[in-house]
Amino acid sequence: MRNDAVVIGGSFAGLSAALQLARARRSVCVIDAGAPRNRFADASHGILGHDGKSPQTMVAEARAQLQRYPTVQMLEGVATSAEAMADGFEVGLADGISLHAARLVLAFGISDVLPEIPGLAGRWGKSVLHCPYCHGFEYGGRRLGVLQTMPVSAHQALLIADWGPTTLFLNGADMPDATMQLQLARRGVAIEPRPIAGLCGEDAALSSLTLADGHEVPIDALYLAPRSRLNSPIAAQLGCVLDDGPFGAIIRTDAAKLTSVPGVYAAGDAARAPHNASWAAADGVTAGISLHQSLVFEPLPA
């Protein structure tokens, strides 16, 4: 059976796109591997009407609502390939199934590539954080750190200082230039240049950073901007143009969330920077509605 659309990735972006298509009475199949980017956090914040809810609960509720529509099919699995055909696209899954669709939505998200510092990865989403708007309020007024991972980290420290007393941990990297040092000093940001040996604290909590020389710096939360990678090579396989985003590759889209390949839309973290769940959902809405209108006004050859 040929679907009107196949959506690769069934989280904030993909489910939002599929919901618009379902409400337009179009057949849509959502393939999802079940590993949304924020699965490490116990609570999601800053999402209107859902502030503080667990990300898994939000996605499960959205999925249950979507499945009430008769034209929706949800598949658990991993899409491994996609190819343009004369009349649309063929998508291959890891378990050997193949699906056909007139249009595609790429909503497979990104993965964070975390620095290899002992004790860091296990605290990701709990006391090691990427976004103060998502998780800053909970650490307001506490002892905060920013880990230097890329040139933008000093700028991130200027911002984080709004939530509490902040130290920029250079972890052996070069000192910021004189202008930035002055800006950091004006914001009250301390600079710790020494390399970090590890993170300490009970369970997922953070109480200090241990430096390579054995010195301990007390701290309650550490922010960092990680590099990221697209979760799937499918955009590249299809020939979609990728751009260098501030954190890693992103799929280029226009205002309608159409990629450089006709019939292929992209939404969510894979196709934007900066990131959050509301933006991902909003992009999914744009992609779903644009895709539906393309089926009406720009049909591909049958």
Stretch that binds ligand FAD, among 25-33, 166-174, 198-206, 289-297 (CB under 6 A): 25-33
Stretch that binds ligand FAD, among 37-45, 60-68, 114-122, 258-266 (CB under 6 A): 37-45
Stretch that binds ligand FAD, among 10-18, 82-90, 155-163, 197-205 (CB under 6 A): 10-18
Cα 105 to Cα 108: distance, rounded to the nearest angstrom: 9
Cα 90 to Cα 24: distance, rounded to the nearest angstrom: 22
Cα 132 to Cα 129: distance, rounded to the nearest angstrom: 8
175 lines the binding site for ligand FAD (CB under 6 A):
no
Residue by residue, DSSP assigns 203-252 as: TT---EEEETTS-EEE-SEEE---EEEES-SHHHHHT--EEE-SSSEEE-
CB 23 within 8 A of CB 69: yes
Q: For residues 67 and 278, which CB has a smaller minimum distance to ligand FAD in the complex?
A: 278
Cα 146 to Cα 130: distance, rounded to the nearest angstrom: 9
Taking residues 228 to 257 in sequence order and writing x for each that binds ligand FAD by CB under 6 A, - otherwise, the string is ---xx-------------------------
104 lines the binding site for ligand FAD (CB under 6 A):
no
CB 28 within 8 A of CB 22: yes
Residue 213 Cβ, how far from ligand FAD at the closest point, in Å?
30
276 lines the binding site for ligand FAD (CB under 6 A):
yes
Stretch that binds ligand FAD, among 11-19, 61-69, 162-170, 199-207 (CB under 6 A): 11-19
147 lines the binding site for ligand FAD (CB under 6 A):
no
125-144: contacts with ligand FAD (CB under 6 A): 125, 130, 134
Q: For residues 100 and 187, which CB has a smaller minimum distance to ligand FAD in the complex?
A: 100
Those residues whose C-beta lies under 8 Å from the C-beta of residue 165, and which sit 6 or more positions away, are 143, 144, 188, 190
The residue number with the shortest CB distance to ligand FAD is 268
Burial 262-277 (b: 16+ CB within 10 A, else e): ebbbbbbbbbbeebbb
Report helix, strand and coil shares of the chain as percent, to nearest 5.
Answer: 30, 30, 45
Number of residues that bind ligand FAD (CB under 6 A): 40
Give the residues across from 227 on adjacent strands.
113
Give the residues across from 94 on adjacent strands.
none
Residue 78 Cβ, how far from ligand FAD at the closest point, in Å?
4
Residue 297 Cβ, how far from ligand FAD at the closest point, in Å?
26
Interaction site with ligand FAD (CB under 6 A): 8-14, 31-38, 40-41, 44-47, 78-79, 107-109, 112, 124-125, 130, 134, 231-232, 268-269, 275-278, 280
